[in-house]
């Protein structure tokens, strides 16, 4: 059973690393996005995390679990920026981070070590489409 868990964890790390590499390449090579990227954003990517409430627990139990693992103290890891953090009723919380490529593993580890037990998690590579949409809208008018 332990080898199966290790295999799944290894595959998850590979998928996250591969996604991060693609996003970094995209942000460097995409002309529209690349022109609009701020100097501080180069070499980073956006990562959206769904922190889905474990509905078998009360809100108090979830907070107790997060306190026990010191989630609030450790998330996000140093050098990672919180871009947005929303509550999505019926789901949980949706957090978008700006992550330097070399910090991807640190983000994954803090979630595994400190959020699991309170939340089920999903990760999605994300990019800011709003500037592109606004430029397209300007062209259309």
Give me the number of domains the chain comprises. Answer: 1
CATH code of the domain in which 94 resides: 3.30.70.920
Can you give the pLDDT at residue 36?
46
- Name the residue range of residue 117's domain: 2-140
| Amino acid 2: pLDDT | 64
Q: State residue 120's pLDDT score.
A: 95
Tens place of pLDDT per residue across the chain (141 aa) = 666 666 665 555 544 444 444 443 344 334 444 444 454 577 899 999 999 998 899 999 999 999 999 999 999 999 999 999 999 998 899 999 999 999 999 999 999 999 999 999 999 998 888 899 999 999 998
Sheet order of strands, 81-88 included: 81-88, 92-100, 44-53, 119-126
User: pTM here?
Assistant: 0.68
The phi-psi region of residue 130 (left if phi > 0; otherwise alpha if psi is between -120 and 50; otherwise beta) is: alpha
Q: Which two tokens stand for residue 111?
A: 């979630």
């Amino acid at each position: 059973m332990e080898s199966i868990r290790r295999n799944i964890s290894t595959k998850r790390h590979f998928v996250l690393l591969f996604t991060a590499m693609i996003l970094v390449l995209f942000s460097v090579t995409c002309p529209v996005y690349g022109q609009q990227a701020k100097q501080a954003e180069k070499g980073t990517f956006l990562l959206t995390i769904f922190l889905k409430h474990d509905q078998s627990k009360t809100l108090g139990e979830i907070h107790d679990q997060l306190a026990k693992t010191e989630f609030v103290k450790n998330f996000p890891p140093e050098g990672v920026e919180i871009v947005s953090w929303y509550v999505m009723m019926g789901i949980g919380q949706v957090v978008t981070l700006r992550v330097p490529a070399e910090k991807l593993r640190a983000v994954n580890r803090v979630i595994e070590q400190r959020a699991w037990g309170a939340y089920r998690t999903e990760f999605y590579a994300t990019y800011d489409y709003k500037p592109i949409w606004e430029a397209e809208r300007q062209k259309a008018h």
